[in-house]
Amino acid sequence: MSFAKLLALPVALTLLAASGHAQTVTTVISNGTTDTRYDIVILGDGYRVSEQGQFNQDVTAFLTSLFQKAPYNLFADYYNVHTVFRPSIDSGADHPDATPPIFVNTAYDATYNFGGTGRCLYIQNTSLGLADAALAPATEGRVLVMVNDSRYGGCASTFAVSYNGSSMTEVQAHELGHSLGQLADEYEYTGNSYTGPEPGSVNLTTSPTGQKWSIWHGTQGISAFQGGGYNQFGLYRPRSNCMMRSLGQVLCRVCQENIVKITNAIVNVMTSTSPASSSVTVIAPNLQTFSFTHFVPASNNPVIEWEIDGVVQAGETATNFTIDSGQLALGSHTVLARIIDQSDRVRRDPSLLMHEDYTWQVQISDPSLAQLRIPTFAISMVIVNPGSTVTLSPTIVNDGPATSAPCTVEFFLSSSHATYTTQDTLLGKIELGSLSNGQQTNGLQLNAQLPWSMPLSVMFVYAVVDRENTVIESNETDNVLMRSLFSQQGPCETGLEFQDSLVTPFAGSISLAAGGTLHPTVVAPCANPATTLYLIAWTGSGTNPGTQIGPGLTLPLNFDGLTQVSLDGLNGAVFGAFFGLLDAQGVGQAQFTLPPSTVIPTGTTHFAAALLGQSPLFTAVSNAIELTILP
């Protein structure tokens, strides 16, 4: 950083405050965008309108001195500095401990003897200070205040405050060590002994050996020296003398390390990336180059790494890296750029603050393939009863580049939040037509009835597009989206459903030629399992108007020849357990087995069930479930 840049004052904004005084906002050091640099704001207190030039001179003197000190001189390009000048009515600061006391009218009400310590100079109108600091383009919370008073003093908390006398540059650098570096004072008061816990600051310890900074032992006088934190005994500092103990001293390496790490935690040393978007699609077999720029000093020996899907690419140490999409599998990949600052000011970095990564999500696509995914999936109800009907509304999009063939969207109800299986309950499916490149579905819906046997717990509905891979895609891993349901105790209904994998609970099919087996299941959770019988019957004549089997009870099944066959064949080879006693859970499990080449008409048929008691004979009826007989 050149001091010509320091003195250029390139940006100035003037705003009107409620008091009628104008605040002047100026960027005095601009090394880059505020999102990449560490931004410091400097305020002035006790400077009258006519003394703004003095404030500017004080800022220049401080910054000139600061950026000649380690570690700031090594990382000068990491900082932006802004000033906000609000003129005061009077010069100076309050001296409440003077004889007689002195009180002046200043913008932020700076005062000596803050907290009862004479040399502690701090501002009392901190809310106005924060409001003015917020007028700067950015701030990392590190606000300095220059006070136009010649009496020695300074203090730091939210603000780093210093007088502008002969030792101003040293005092302000010391106070910045507190506010930016989170460093403790290392000087002592005679006779004080520390008996508390291990201090949180990096530059004080209760260990007489200085184990806290042992990695620095022997470097520029680093060891363990008793006295610090205002205590003569019980606390130890890293170096015999340091800026955090005495003005005019350099910061020891322990203190420098913390300042460097805190600075690097804020800055983004990668100033630009190419491609600019973090999502990149590459059409195979093309090449794609990735690159970035950075401002890590060459003297810090930065190391550059590139990764593909977590694997470091050997020999790739430049700021640009080219992938050959023909050498990567179709689908999603992660390309990561990393720069590691190896500054000799940092020896321990467990949080990897000296590392910076940038990641691109890369989709390798084949121009002959489509790419289906489910960006959104909604369910009409979240809290549901067993057997209730919900509307399932997915959106399917084809990211191309090829047009997708027709396929199916299926919906599975599962107790697992991790994944579905084909053994879970199939709620239904939607046949999806072709989608061209970039096309998405609109208004896709399925009204699905939930199973009567759904447990009272959190359940998960999975929308799955193209489960059978009818469409060959460039990425087969993003075809599923899940939503949650909360099942509660519903009314005491008697329900009938199929319990077979890849068969919906209320509709199934069997081929006459091949035959097959399905499992109609009665669910009656409120029935007495010890005394309640169930009976399942069959019809090929529809469910309306049904058959009245008792007062107020209509079985949704029209009596016909199939009904008689099912009654005659109860509990035989075809109609297994179609008549029986409910189990302890109120469930009756039957089995319908149709032998191959059975001679019956094709078409839609239905099963329905009734519960039997003693008086009256029939106590409840179920819904009807559909069975399609195919050729």
- Cα 583 from chain centre: 47
- Is residue 18 pLDDT above 50, yes or no? no
Angle (CA) 324 329 335, round 5°: 60
Residues 309 and 376 in one domain: no
CATH number of domain containing 527: 2.60.40.10
pLDDT confidence band for 2 (50 / 70 / 90): very low
SS3 string, 60-91, reads: HHHHHHHCCCCCCCCCHHHEEEEEEECCCCCC
Do residues 413 and 461 make contact, with C-beta atoms less than 8 angstroms apart? yes
Residue at 442: amino acid letter = N
Phi-psi region of 92 (alpha: psi -120 to 50; beta: other; left: phi over 0): left
Provide the pLDDT confidence category of residue 13 given band limits of 50, 70 and 90. Answer: very low
The number of CA neighbours under 13 Å toward the Cβ of 584 is: 0
Which of 123, 145, 179 is the endpoint of a domain? Answer: 179
Query: Residue 495: which residues within 8 A CB-CB, separation 6 or more?
Result: 386, 387, 451, 452, 453, 522, 523, 524, 622, 623
Q: Are residues 359 and 378 in the same domain?
A: no
Tell me the pLDDT band of 21, cut-offs 50, 70 and 90.
low
Residues 81 and 201 in one domain: no
Q: What percent of the chain has pLDDT over 70?
A: 97
Instruction: Note the pLDDT tens digit of each residue in 314-350.
Output: 999 999 999 999 999 888 899 999 999 999 999 999 9
Q: Is the dihedral of CA 451, 453, 459, 465 positive or negative?
A: negative
Structural domain contains residue 607: yes
- For residue 21, the 8-state DSSP code is P
In this prediction, residue 530 carries a pLDDT of: 80
Q: Say if residues 416 and 460 touch (Cβ distance below 8 Å).
A: yes
- Residue range(s) defining the domain that contains residue 480: 372-487
Q: Looking at 315, 340, 365, which one is the last position of a domain?
A: 365
* Structural domain ending residue among the three candidates 436, 466, 487: 487
- 427 and 322 in a common domain: no
| Tokens standing for residue 72 | 């700031």
What global pTM score does this model have? 0.66
Q: Do 434 and 524 fall into the same domain?
A: no
Give the pLDDT band of residue 9 (cuts 50, 70, 90). very low
* pLDDT of residue 15 exceeding 70: no
548 and 569 share one domain:
yes
**pLDDT digits 0-9 by tens, 374-411:** 999 999 999 999 999 999 999 999 998 899 999 999 99
Residue 96, domain member (yes or no)? yes
98 with 239, same domain: the answer is: no
**Is the per-residue pLDDT at 368 higher than 60?**
yes
Reading phi first (left if > 0) and then psi (alpha if -120 to 50, else beta), residue 334 is in: beta
Average the pLDDT over 3-9 and give the result. Answer: 37
In a domain, 261, yes or no: no
> Quick one: which of 319, 295, 353 has its CA closest to 77?
295
DSSP class of 254: H
**Mean pLDDT across the stretch 137-144?**
86
By CB atoms closer than 10 A (0-12, 13-18, 19+), residue 273 is middle
pLDDT at 133: 96
Confidence of residue 531 (pLDDT cuts 50, 70, 90): confident
- CATH code where residue 127 lies: 3.40.390.10
Same domain, 466 and 527: no
Question: Mean pLDDT throughout 79-93?
Answer: 97
**Structural domains counted in the chain:** 5
Is the same domain home to 116 and 188? no
Q: Is residue 479 part of a domain?
A: yes
